[in-house]
């Protein structure tokens, strides 16, 4: 069964600091996808980034970057130079490519509070 | 940019009443999902739907729940006899097809259900 763990429940930073969110996953599949979603105070779920299990190349997209390491089953996410608008709950999620329903399994979320 | 829409945004109902939550997925998407999020908790998978049938359902999705795609655009979740513990935010999601980019699930804004 698939499982996603986000050990950090809440992180508080001052604006312009970098924030790194940890995510550890479990899956028996060799082909899977990893995602990060943002849930601002308004409640919607906003897709941020995705990665597949065959591509461990780490990338940067604007102020977002991620570090995918299969060896440790981790998919960490960093916000560089945080802004107040980054305050939200961030969810890491996993889907197994060969599963019948392609469901997303979410971690418990990490609440990020960026103070001015 | 196309988006998933959900109605109503909020619904208050009495215990034992039936509710229908409505979703309009992105128009060229083929895979549909319902998730729920009890206040302050993680997002949980309920059911996935493809080709007019359920692909997978969770333990939460018992006989009180049903899904339907009554026409070419709407995707509904019905709860036959609501319980207090059904109070949650319900998210609809959809994705286009299979393959990494196509499997990114896009979420609607959610329906907040309160059962009294």
Summary mean pLDDT of chain A: 92
B33–A44 C-beta distance less than 8 A: no
A43–B89 C-beta distance less than 8 A: yes
Q: Which of A62-71, A103-112, B99-108 has the lowest mean pLDDT?
A: B99-108
Q: Does the pLDDT at position A44 exceed 70?
A: yes
Q: Does the pLDDT at position B101 exceed 70?
A: no
B55–A95 C-beta distance less than 8 A: no
Q: Which long-range contacts (CB under 8 A, 24 or more apart) does A99-103 make?
A: A99/A29, A99/B56, A100/B48, A100/B55, A100/B56, A101/B45, A101/B47, A101/B48, A101/B50, A101/B55, A101/B56, A101/B57, A102/B31, A102/B48, A102/B55, A102/B95, A102/B98, A102/B103, A103/B33, A103/B45, A103/B48, A103/B56, A103/B58
A70 versus A59: the higher-pLDDT residue is A70
- In the prediction, which pLDDT does B102 show? 64
A residues 10-39 closer than 8 Å to B (CB): 33, 35, 37
pLDDT confidence bin for A7, thresholds 50/70/90: very high
pLDDT digits (tens, 9 = 90+) for B15-29: 999 999 999 999 889
């Amino acid at each position: 069964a698939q499982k996603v763990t986000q050990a950090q429940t809440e992180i508080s930073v001052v604006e312009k600091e970098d924030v790194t969110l940890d995510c550890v996953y479990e899956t028996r599949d060799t082909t899977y996808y990893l995602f990060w979603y943002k849930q601002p105070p308004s409640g919607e779920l906003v897709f941020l980034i995705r990665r597949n299990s065959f591509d461990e190349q780490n990338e940067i997209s604007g102020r977002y970057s991620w570090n995918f390491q299969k060896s440790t089953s981790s998919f960490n996410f960093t916000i560089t130079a945080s802004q107040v608008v980054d305050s939200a709950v961030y969810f890491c999620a996993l889907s197994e490519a060969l599963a019948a329903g392609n469901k997303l399994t979410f971690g418990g979320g990490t609440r990020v509070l960026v103070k001015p | 940019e196309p988006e998933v829409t959900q109605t109503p945004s909020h619904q208050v109902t009495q215990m034992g009443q039936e509710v229908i939550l409505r979703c309009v997925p992105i128009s060229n998407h083929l895979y549909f999902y319902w998730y729920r999020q009890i206040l302050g908790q993680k997002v949980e998978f309920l059911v996935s739907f493809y080709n007019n049938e359920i692909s997978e359902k969770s333990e939460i999705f018992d006989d009180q729940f049903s899904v339907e795609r009554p026409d070419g655009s709407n995707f509904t979740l019905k709860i036959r006899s609501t319980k207090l513990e059904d109070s949650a935010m319900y998210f609809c999601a959809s994705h286009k097809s299979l393959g990494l980019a196509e499997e990114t699930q896009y979420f609607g804004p959610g329906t907040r259900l309160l059962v009294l």
